[in-house]
Structure 1
Amino acid sequence: MGKQIWRVVVAGGAAAVFTAVAAAPAGAAEGGVSFTRVQVNDGKPIVIGVSNEVAVPASFRMATTEAWEFPHVFLYRGAANGGDELWHAIETSDCVKVSAGVCDFDETMYFDPSEWDMSNKEAGAWKVAARVYFKGDGADTDDEGLTVHVKRNSRLTVNASPEPVTKGKSITVTGKVTRADWETRKYVSYGGRLVSLQFKPAGSTSYTTVKKVYANSSGDLRTTVTASRTGTWRWVYHGNTTTGPSTSSGDNVVVR
């Protein structure tokens, strides 16, 4: 958790720098810096598994009278200065000049659970802050009044049998719910989840929820339905504040 790597990508390999001027640009806060138009991941949760790096887009506008370097937005808990921060690397674009002393930036936050230690307690709500370091000395950090949820990825499996089946007989649909354990870097059982069983008839393009089933304490799913027509069965989990949603693959059953 916290700052592991800092990467800055700018034109020509050098950060653009403003020279201080007498008058503050429009929108600059007391202290000479303001951040506006802050967005992180288009307002969507950040879902992280156990092995693949996740690249999260962000953007912001900065207005300042100061000579600066390394502007960025980041996730934090506690205090924006001195609290816990969550990111493994950050890349920030060059300044896209809006007017004198005002720049727009694109940013990418990287999270890589295969390279950096993560705690399962890091799943949940994080606040968003913006920070800029000044040339020479000092920095400005502002809370942006935004909340982003960071979630553990989940997975679902499915099996529907027998295949084929006689019309009017029972089909047994099983599966399992697991989610990422960031500390062991493995997927583990996720028991007690309410999961939707969905069906798509042959020739259709859309699924319909047939019933909802709770997984047992080991994350196992099991239910029976009556065979009425050929089609595909799948499980759908809608997630919660700490765990992302998931959809199993489909299992086709021919009804004769």
Structure 2
Amino acid sequence: MRIRATVAAVSGALALSAFAVPAAHAATTAPNVTFSNMKVNSGKAITIGATSIVKVKATYTVTHPSTVSLSNIDTGPVLYRGTSAESADTQVVSDTPGTCTTANSTTVNCSATITIPADELWNSDAGTWKTGGLAVNRTTHAMKWQNDLGTIPVRRAAKLTADATPEPVKKGATLTVTGKLTRANWEKGTYGGFGGQSVKLQFRKAGTTTYTTVKTITSSSTGALKTTVTAGSDGYYRYSFAGTSTTSSVSSAADYVDVQ
């Protein structure tokens, strides 16, 4: 897997961006801190486009014995896939150490930014990631990794189009609605057709605000969509995709049809 030089000490990790992580020293003692209340992107799924560089905020709490000072300890959040943040094949550490405010003599509340560039992801990286924490003693270079602080979905962004023809159309005539469902290919930096997916054709009558589902169709192997309906009244047609565990939900822009 690809490794950035700044975190090359994290052997085997796909480390996308990180605060300085030095080589570990076996003879030193790891920082005596504990992470909790880790929340990344406010708990919402992280959606990444084909060429996006996505920045998300993480907040967390660090507790420590009153005899331990944090003045020489950097902390930050970690996103990873696998059983361990330290040995994960896919891993992202915060850009810089977290910024913390003191809650009491043994607790600080922190925030940090995590940057995820699409061009350092494999398509297979989409799915559920875990959250963890990393603490580094700046003097001894000792590290503490903490696992299993929560989960966060990381999804490939989807795009969807809709085009209803003919326009205008006579009432009772056949209206054809075409479109295409695509999703981000992180490895190629493009969007490719997403086939075999259930997509809803929806209609909103002019003067109203609510869409209703007309029918559900399946995208072709290239992501193409095509179906017909009977024109009844003026309004807006769109396609809507609910998403999957690896791909974001999306609705197309609405296409207005004048029924005469």
When the two structures are superposed, what TM-score results if normalisation uses the length of structure 1?
0.85
Equivalent pair of 1:88/1:111 in contact (CA under 8 Å): no
Alpha-carbon deviation of 1:83?
1.6
Name the counterpart of 1:128: 131
Q: Deviations over 1:74-106 (max 9, x none)?
A: 111222222224337524442111011321111
1:198 to 196, 202, 212: 202
One-letter code aligned to 2:88? G
Name the counterpart of 1:15: none
* Off by >4 Å, runs of 4+ in structure 1: none
Equivalent pair of 1:88/1:112 in contact (CA under 8 Å): no
Matches within 5 A, 1:184-195: 184-195=188-199
- Report the Cα distance in structure 2 between the residues aligned to 1:112 and 1:31, rounded to whole angstroms: 30
Give the number of aligned pairs.
233
Name the counterpart of 1:55: 55
One-letter code aligned to 1:245? S
One-letter code aligned to 2:113? T
Name the counterpart of 1:101: 106
Equivalent pair of 2:77/2:94 in contact (CA under 8 Å): no
- Report the Cα distance in structure 2 between the residues aligned to 1:149 and 1:252, rounded to whole angstroms: 34
Equivalent pair of 1:89/1:111 in contact (CA under 8 Å): no
Question: Could you say if the C-alpha distance between residues 218 and 5 of structure 1 is closer, same or farther in structure 2, counting changes exceeding 3 Å?
Answer: closer
Equivalent pair of 1:95/1:105 in contact (CA under 8 Å): yes
Matches within 5 A, 1:88-237: 90-113=95-118, 116-137=119-140, 138-237=142-241
Equivalent pair of 2:199/2:242 in contact (CA under 8 Å): yes
Alpha-carbon deviation of 1:234?
0.4
Question: Could you say if the C-alpha distance between residues 168 and 53 of structure 1 is closer, same or farther in structure 2, counting changes exceeding 3 Å?
Answer: same
One-letter code aligned to 2:86? N
- Report the Cα distance in structure 1 between the residues aligned to 2:69 and 2:120, rounded to whole angstroms: 36
Name the counterpart of 2:18: 6
Alpha-carbon deviation of 1:5?
3.4
Structure 1: gaps (5+ residues): 9-29
Matches within 5 A, 1:77-96: 77-78=81-82, 79-87=84-92, 90-96=95-101
Equivalent pair of 1:160/1:173 in contact (CA under 8 Å): yes
Name the counterpart of 1:25: none
- Report the Cα distance in structure 2 between the residues aligned to 1:84 and 1:104, rounded to whole angstroms: 29
Alpha-carbon deviation of 1:252?
0.4
- Report the Cα distance in structure 1 between the residues aligned to 2:46 and 2:207, rounded to whole angstroms: 35
Question: Could you say if the C-alpha distance between residues 226 and 4 of structure 1 is closer, same or farther in structure 2, counting changes exceeding 3 Å?
Answer: closer
- C-alpha RMSD of matched pairs (Å): 1.9
- Report the Cα distance in structure 1 between the residues aligned to 2:121 and 2:93, rounded to whole angstroms: 10
